[in-house]
Amino acid sequence: MLKVTEIEVRYSGIPVIHNVSLEVEQGELVAVVGSNGAGKSTLLKTIAGALHPTKGSITFEKRDIHRLSTPAIVQLGITYIPEARLIFGPLTVEENLELGAYILNSTEETKKNLEFVYNLFPRLKERRSQLSGTLSGGEQQMLAIGRGLMSNPKLLMLDEPSLGLMPKLVDEMLEAVAKLRNIGKTILLVEQNVFESLELSDRGYVLQTGRTIQHGTGKELLNAESIKKAFLGL
């Protein structure tokens, strides 16, 4: 579904991503892990069209997208949930969710997606009329993911969905990601919890200083000595 081929990305002329390649097949959960500053978020922003590679190519469903704008990429079916969440605080939970369905032309489909999100995150249904700015950090993250799901994305890209959450909410958030994978959603996940994300994933890529240093199935990476030493403290 998604193919990134040897891309280079620069900030102010300085390369921060070096010849990175990855693939995501339909229905897969693919994790990208690495330490802070490895280039994980930059990679997702580039796929989403917020940045453009200076070298290499990105194709989605065999269509070249690496020069397209973010709105055009969203229309093709890629949704990016940024680390910062970026919810609309003065609007209610339900108003935020409805904004996520702006590319749909069907009231019926919007309602169906709304119920899907409320089933995934029952807490949002309880707070559907509450101003989003008054939600807890965990609830805001649920809302950000729920809003992303409202457009029926073919590919959902999640950037650090558990960042800043208490341990109980981290588990809850990753359980929701697992549910989405189990119903066939295609997910590209950047996550600081290396063990949990690789355990969930079909395949994974390890980035270090903007380069891919290892890739394989989630199980292969969890069993790799280099991963155990670098990320799992084993």
Number of domains in the chain: 2
Local confidence band at 193 (pLDDT 50, 70, 90 cut-offs): confident
What's the CA gap between 91 and 96, in Å, rounded?
6
Q: What residue numbers bound the domain in which 92 lies?
A: 84-152
For residue 135, what are its two tokens? 């939600």
Q: What is the separation, in whole angstroms, between the first and last Cα of the chain?
A: 35
Q: Are both 116 and 11 inside the same structural domain? A: no
Q: Are both 64 and 97 inside the same structural domain? A: no
Q: What is the CATH number of the domain that holds 208?
A: 3.40.50.300
What's the CA gap between 186 and 199, in Å, rounded?
16
Q: Are both 142 and 191 inside the same structural domain? A: no
Asked if 95 and 80 touch (Cβ cutoff 8 Å), the reply is: no
Q: Are both 45 and 9 inside the same structural domain? A: yes
Give all strands (DSSP E) within 96-192, no chain letters: 155-159, 186-190
Give the pTM: 0.92
Q: Are both 175 and 109 inside the same structural domain? A: no
Tell me which of 11-15, 94-98, 145-149, 183-187 is least confident. 11-15
Q: Establish how many alpha carbons lie within 13 A of residue 76's alpha carbon, considering only the half-sphere containing its beta carbon.
A: 22
Tell me which of 3-7, 81-85, 112-116, 230-234 is least confident. 230-234
Q: How many residues does the chain have?
A: 234
> For a pLDDT cut of 70, what percent of the chain falls above it?
99
> Which value, in Å, is the radius of gyration of the alpha carbons in the chain?
17
Q: Are both 176 and 221 inside the same structural domain? A: yes
Q: Are both 40 and 110 inside the same structural domain? A: no
Q: State the pLDDT at residue 233.
A: 62
Q: Are both 100 and 146 inside the same structural domain? A: yes
What's the CA gap between 72 and 57, in Å, rounded?
17
Tell me: pLDDT of 26 over 60: yes
Average pLDDT over residues 148-153: 95
Tell me: pLDDT of 232 over 80: no
Question: Does residue 7 sit in helix, strand or coil?
Answer: strand
Local confidence band at 171 (pLDDT 50, 70, 90 cut-offs): confident
Local confidence band at 226 (pLDDT 50, 70, 90 cut-offs): confident
Q: Are both 59 and 159 inside the same structural domain? A: yes
Q: Are both 29 and 88 inside the same structural domain? A: no
Q: Are both 112 and 226 inside the same structural domain? A: no
